[in-house]
Amino acid sequence: MGMQWTPAVLQRRRHGRVQCLLCPFRCALEDGETGLCGVRRRTGDRLETATFASSVRHWDTVERKPLYHYRPGTPCLTLAAPGCTFACDYCINHRMSQYGREDSVRWDAEPVDAEEVAGEAAARSGCVAISYTEPSLAIELTAALAESGRPLGVDVVWKSNGFLTAEAVDLAARHVAAVNVDVKTLDERDHRDLTGARPGPVLDALTGLRERGVWVEVSTPLIPGLTAGPGTLRPIARALAALDPAIPWHLVRATPAHRRTGHAPTPVADLAAGVRIGREEGLRHVYVERALGAVGRATRCPRCRTTVVARDIWALGENALEDGRCPRCGTAVEGRW
């Protein structure tokens, strides 16, 4: 089925244009114009979105987002509307995420029935995830899924680039239970090179989401020659620790993909060094999914270092927490358990 345009939220009139308030690009659109993301447009006086739709309907686990401190082991019915506010040159998902930015990417999404999706997630005591592409572009779909899911106990979670305006953060916080935000680098030039956008709004958004009660975890891709070294990782770790040392930080191995193919995969030593940097800066929970084995994925009590949640690859191993506390020393471990 082709694209269907439905009414969008977060807009205002400005100097004869309709301005989209969803992401910090704040596109001011003439009638008939489409925004930089390629999935929001102006028709007459209204803003429309193509993102009440999904290319996939995949079951996976919350550990894959990755969210490690949010209901471990929860199955996630995952949707993805094509489109992204970033144009990352290393994106593994570019065949879906770069819709509207690269002509070769075709629209293959189908409209979503929010009630039906929430019902399917409820039947497996799961949640609904919006992931693989940029979920904030599907804020209207997110709201509909959250409203359908609420009476059934079904949460909505995101894996997001965090490129949201304050207005979008306000709205998202009402509907999203947990989000993993990518913080790729805090260096202005590197961030622009990688994504086409500034890094500042990303930190602001993750701060705003946390303040409004959304459970936030952070991922950083370690791209050799660009973001894999201490010059990138230490400032990120420091910024996160200043916000809250309990924010889980996921260090992600990068493999050459899309247009960034001139490097080797992230060396294991760089991932291990990143873990040390995170700890030195005071972060309590720093994770590496595969390269450091089960130790890299385990949650330890911040006080007595007992393993309180053991994980397999993309799956829960054992959750030993008792009411969110270490079974040995009783220390509370931050998360939504």
Partner 1 sequence: MAEYRMVEHIPDLIQPEEYERHPEGRLVRISISVDGGGVQVLGDAFRPEVLERLLETLGPDAIEQMLCG
In contact, 161 and 134? CB cutoff 8 Å: yes
Single out the residue of 34, 43, 255, 331 in contact with partner 1 (rule: CB under 8 A): 255
| Helices 166-175 and 200-211, axial angle in degrees (round to 10) | 40
| Shortest separation between residue 284's beta carbon and ligand SF4, angstroms | 34
**225 binds partner 1, rule: CB under 8 A:** no
In contact, 182 and 149? CB cutoff 8 Å: no
The Cα–Cα gap between 252 and 17 comes to 41
User: CB under 5 to 8 A by kind: which of partner 1, ligand SF4, none does 95 bind?
Assistant: partner 1
Nearest residue to 132 (alpha-carbon basis) of 32, 54, 200: 54
Per-residue binding string, ligand SF4, 5-34, x by CB under 6 A, is ---------------x-xx-xxx-------
Question: Which stretch in 52-60, 111-119, 162-170, 275-283 sits in contact with partner 1 by CB under 8 A?
Answer: 52-60
Single out the residue of 18, 35, 94, 223 in contact with ligand SF4 (rule: CB under 6 A): 35
Single out the residue of 6, 92, 124, 295 in contact with partner 1 (rule: CB under 8 A): 92
Look at residue 68 and give its three-state secondary structure: coil
The Cα–Cα gap between 172 and 189 comes to 28
Give the footprint of partner 1 on residues 105-124 (CB under 8 A): none
| Shortest separation between residue 4's beta carbon and ligand SF4, angstroms | 17
| Shortest separation between residue 78's beta carbon and partner 1, angstroms | 9
Q: Give the residue with the Cβ less far from partner 1, 8 or 178.
A: 178
Single out the residue of 261, 295, 322, 327 in contact with partner 1 (rule: CB under 8 A): 261
Which residue has the closest beta carbon to ligand SF4? 35
Single out the residue of 43, 58, 85, 218 in contact with ligand SF4 (rule: CB under 6 A): 85
DSSP assignment string, 38-55: SSEEEETTEEEES-SEES
Question: Which stretch in 35-43, 90-98, 187-195, 227-235 sits in contact with partner 1 by CB under 8 A?
Answer: 90-98
List of E strands, the chain: 6-7, 11-14, 17-20, 28-29, 40-43, 46-49, 53-54, 57-61, 75-79, 110-111, 127-130, 156-160, 178-182, 215-222, 249-253, 286-288, 299-300, 307-312, 315-319
In contact, 161 and 85? CB cutoff 8 Å: yes
Give the footprint of partner 1 on residues 272-301 (CB under 8 A): 290-291, 293
Nearest residue to 335 (alpha-carbon basis) of 233, 162, 238, 210: 210
**60 binds partner 1, rule: CB under 8 A:** yes
Instruction: Look at strands 57-61 and 110-111 and give their pairing.
Output: unpaired
The Cα–Cα gap between 62 and 193 comes to 30
Residues lying near ligand SF4 in the complex (CB under 6 A) are found at: 20, 22-23, 25-27, 35-37, 40, 85, 137
Residues lying near partner 1 in the complex (CB under 8 A) are found at: 55-56, 58-60, 64-65, 80, 92-93, 95-96, 131-132, 159, 180, 253, 255-258, 261, 264-265, 267-268, 290-291, 293, 313
